[in-house]
Amino acid sequence: SQTIHQWPATLVQPVGSPLSLECTVEGTSNPNLYWYRQAAGRGLQLLFYSVGIGQISSEVPQNLSASRPQDRQFILSSKKLLLSDSGFYLCAWSGGVAGNNEQFFGPGTRLTVL
Amino acid sequence: LAKTTQPISMDSYEGQEVNITCSHNNIATNDYITWYQQFPSQGPRFIIQGYKTKVTNEVASLFIPADRKSSTLSLPRVSLSDTAVYYCLVGAYNQGGKLIFGQGTELSVKP
């Protein structure tokens, strides 16, 4: 069966510090991968998605970046965090089967920028 | 990607049937309708997906009229554990697999 891992579960970082959140998927190959952010407890904002290694599409201009160095690894990064980067970050994957775009979400990372 | 509109919040009592309606007037021919459930501090979880008419699984039913401009998620006999945010999404794989989550409907089930 497929599983998705995210770490860390919680993170407290000062403004201006760097960020690296990692997501890995097991039990599937060539998944579509996604990073979302959820602020104020409602509404998920799609940040990045990837359909293959090295292929990243950005949905929202910001100080965040994403990379996909391996087929089942997706990394969210920032060189300098802002207060507005606080939120709940979720990684997700989908199999990409035509007509079935079900996404499976990881446990999330709660980021607090102080 | 078709935009969706759903109520911000709904209240219900245990044992009642809950129907949450979603409007998607600009749905495209190859779009599917998908509903997700999210509990606090967890990622959303797939509930049900459909293209037209009615779909039923062990958790819910999804009703889609012929014009597909709306859909209704039906939760039979809700319990306290059904308190969550429910999202309606419309999209297709050929749009890069993207899904756009709206604000969702916050369902509160009371004893």
Residue A103 is predicted with a pLDDT of: 86
Enumerate the residues of chain A whose CB falls inside 8 A of the CB of residue B30: 99
| Of A32, A44, A94, Cβ closest to residue B101 | A44
Reduce the DSSP state of residue B74 to 3 states and report it.
strand
B18-74 pLDDT per residue, tens: 999 999 999 988 888 999 999 988 999 999 999 999 999 999 999 999 999 999 999
B104: left (phi over 0), alpha (psi -120 to 50) or beta: left
Q: What string of H, E and C letters represents the secondary structure of chain A?
A: CCEEEEECCEEEECCCCCEEEEEEEECCCCCEEEEEEECCCCCEEEEEEEEECCEEEECCCCCEEEEEEECCEEEEEECCCCHHHCEEEEEEEECCECCECCEEECCCEEEEEC
CA dihedral A57, A62, A68, A74 (to 10 degrees): -110
Cβ atoms of B58 and B67 closer than 8 Å: no
**CA separation for the pair B26, B3 (Å, rounded):** 7
Nearest chain B residue to A91 by CA: give it: B43
Strand-pairing partners, residue A75, are A22, A67
User: How high is the mean pLDDT of chain A?
Assistant: 90
A78-87 pLDDT per residue, tens: 999 999 999 9
Residue B30 is predicted with a pLDDT of: 84
Percent of chain A clearing pLDDT 70 (strictly above): 92
Res A99 pLDDT > 50: no
Question: Does the beta carbon of A1 lie under 8 angstroms from any beta carbon of chain B?
Answer: no
* A50-66 average pLDDT score: 89
Quick one: pLDDT band at residue A12, thresholds 50, 70, 90?
very high
Res B96 pLDDT > 70: no
| Of A36, A51, A103, Cβ closest to residue B96 | A51
Q: How far is A18 from chain B (nearest CA, A)?
A: 24
Quick one: pLDDT band at residue A98, thresholds 50, 70, 90?
very low
Residue B3 is predicted with a pLDDT of: 84
* A9-25 average pLDDT score: 96
Quick one: pLDDT band at residue A97, thresholds 50, 70, 90?
low
| Of A46, A97, A110, Cβ closest to residue B98 | A46
Residue A62 is predicted with a pLDDT of: 80
Question: Does the beta carbon of A103 lie under 8 angstroms from any beta carbon of chain B?
Answer: yes
Residue B97 CA, distance from chain mean position: 18
Residue contact A102–B34, C-beta within 8 A: yes
Quick one: pLDDT band at residue B99, thresholds 50, 70, 90?
confident
